[in-house]
Amino acid sequence: MTILVTRPEQESQALCDALNQLGHPAISHPLLTIHPGKELSQLPELFSPLSDGDFLIAVSQHAVEHTQDYLQHHQIEWKKGLNYLAVGQKSAQHLRTYISDTVHFPTPSDSEHLLALPVLNRVSGKKVLILRGNGGRDLIYQALEALGAEVNYCEAYQRKMTPFDGKLNAKKWQSQNINTIIITSGEQLSFFTSQFAGTDLDWVLHCRLLVPSERINQLGQQLGYQHIETVGGASNSDLLHYISEHHHDGISNDKK
C-alpha cells in the first residue's frame, strides 16, 4: 500500500524519498507553498525591546529561515541572552545554527508540550516574541499572556494553500493504492478534507490518517476520519520512525 505525503514541497519530497528507500511506497502532494511573511519589516522594532531573560519562540523551521534571511539582509544579529524556544526539534536545530544560546523544545512537538517546559515558569513580567506563519499558535499566545507575559507576534512567513481537484485526485490515488495520508497541521487537514465530496470524501475519511498531535487527532475525529494515529511529532524523522515501527498494509482503528 502507498502513503500520501502532503507536507510543503521540500519536506514532502525528502520524506517521500526516505520512505521509498525504506520500502514504503510514497507519493508527494504538497498542500501549500511557503512565502515571506507580511510582518518581517517589523522585526527591528519587535527585536529592539527584547533584553536578557526575555523569550523568543519559533513555531517552525520556516519561521526561523525567513527571519534569518531578513536579519542577514539588514545586517541585524540574533540577540544574545534570550530564552529561545522552538515548537519542534527540527526548528530548534535550525535556530541553533544561528545562535549560541540554548534552544528549548518539547517532546512531543506541539503547543501543549511547549507550554509545559520548565523554562516558561519564569515568563511572568517578561516580553515574548512569537515568530509564526499567517495565523496559528493562538494557544501559546493566550497561555503566556495569562501567565503575565507581554506577548507579540511576528508573521515571518505565509502559508498559501493550493486548491486541487478532489474528484480527479481521489480516483488517481485509489488507482495508486493510497491507504495512508500524512497531514501535519490542523489548517491543512481542514483544507484537504474540504476538497472532497460524496463517495470521494467517504474514501478519504476511511484512509489511515497520521497526524502529529492529539489536538489534530481530535480535529480529524470531528471531520469524520475513521482511522487516526498520533505520531507524536511533525518532523520527517518523527514520521519516518513511526511508520517504520507501525507499518501495516491493512487499516485498523485500534489507535484512535
Q: What is the mean pLDDT of the chain?
A: 93
pLDDT exceeds 50 at position 252: no
Q: Domain 35-159 is of which CATH architecture?
A: 3-Layer(aba) Sandwich (3.40)
Residue range 199-203: mean pLDDT, rounded:
98
Which residue spans of the chain are classified as CATH 3.40.50.10090?
2-31+163-246, 35-159
- Which run of H or E residues covers position 198? helix 198-205
pLDDT in tens, 70-124: 999 999 999 999 999 999 888 999 999 999 999 999 987 788 899 999 999 999 9
Short-list 73, 74, 62, 65, CA closest to 8: 62
Question: Distance between CA atoms of 171 and 27, rounded to whole angstroms?
Answer: 14
Specify the length of the chain in residues.
256
Helix axes 236-246, 9-21, angle to 10 degrees: 30
pLDDT exceeds 60 at position 255: no
| pLDDT on residue 144 | 97
Question: Distance between CA atoms of 215 and 173, rounded to whole angstroms?
Answer: 27
CATH topology of domain 2-31+163-246: Rossmann fold (3.40.50)
pLDDT exceeds 70 at position 256: no
pLDDT exceeds 90 at position 135: no
Residue range 159-169: mean pLDDT, rounded:
96
pLDDT in tens, 170-196: 999 999 999 999 999 999 999 999 999
Residue range 55-65: mean pLDDT, rounded:
95
| pLDDT on residue 202 | 98
Indicate the pTM of the whole model: 0.82
